[in-house]
Amino acid sequence: MKNDNLSTIEDLEVFLQGNTGVSIKIKGREAKYKFIRDTFVKFNYLQLRKKDRGTVKRYIQKLTHYGDRQLKRLILEWKQGGLKYTKGRVRGAAKPKYGVDDIALLILTDIAQKTRSAVATKETLKREYLVFGKMEYENIARISTGHIYNIRKNKHQYLSSEAIRYTKTQPVSVPIGTREKPIPYGKAGFIRVDSVHQGDKDGEKGVYHRVCKD
């Protein structure tokens, strides 16, 4: 970006005060870098007095909208050998740590073992790699127990598979005892125990009596 009308520090000061019709519009990072380099060369920035360097910095900031910290970094680069523009690297989506093949191995393991706890499953995956030397288990063998649960609960690949779902143990109600008539099949030594409630009186619970019958 060139502007021959601004050739001295005094010209820059007038421009910054808004008393000139000079207008420069800079778009794009590459164009801004070139403008900064040209300005440094044109005004011999490194040889200027501190006050004049401040004027040049305000001029660059006005046209590039760069902040103090960013401009200081660019000035340092210039001092260390020049200001070079490099295109930013295009970053793709982050690659998942455990891919489709890894999750497929977890599914096969859970199907074979009927979805054991994450701790037991992790040990199985490690043994497949370390003990039996199955190289396809190398990555999944490093999985944490927490991530196993995460895959089981959230991964569509897992949830749409034939793997048995992991669920918490359900409580089972077991009756303590049942009342039924004994069947001794004619053998001696069997008795029948029952209870008889005496009844309540004046709001107080009555007692129970044990009754033994032949």
> Rounded to whole angstroms, how far apart are CA atoms 58 and 29?
18
Whether residue 110 has pLDDT greater than 70: yes
Task: In whole angstroms, give the CA distance from residue 39 to residue 78.
Answer: 12
Report whether pLDDT(164) > 80: no
Cβ contact 128:121 at 8 Å: no
pLDDT for 120: 93
Residue 184 has pLDDT above 80, yes or no: no
Residue 189 has pLDDT above 80, yes or no: no
From residue 184, alpha-carbon distances to 179, 187, 193, 211 in Å are 15, 5, 14, 18
Map out the domains of the chain as residue ranges.
9-79, 100-159
| CB-based contact 39:55 (threshold 8 Å) | no
Contact 125, 141 (CB under 8 A): yes
Pairwise pLDDT comparison (58 vs 200), residue with the higher score: 58
Q: How far apart are the first and last CA of the chain?
A: 115
Tens digit of pLDDT for each residue in 86-108? 776 555 556 788 889 999 999 99
pTM greater than 0.85: no
DSSP state of 201: B
The pLDDT value given to residue 125: 94
The sign of the dihedral angle between the CA atoms of 154, 155, 160, 166 is: negative
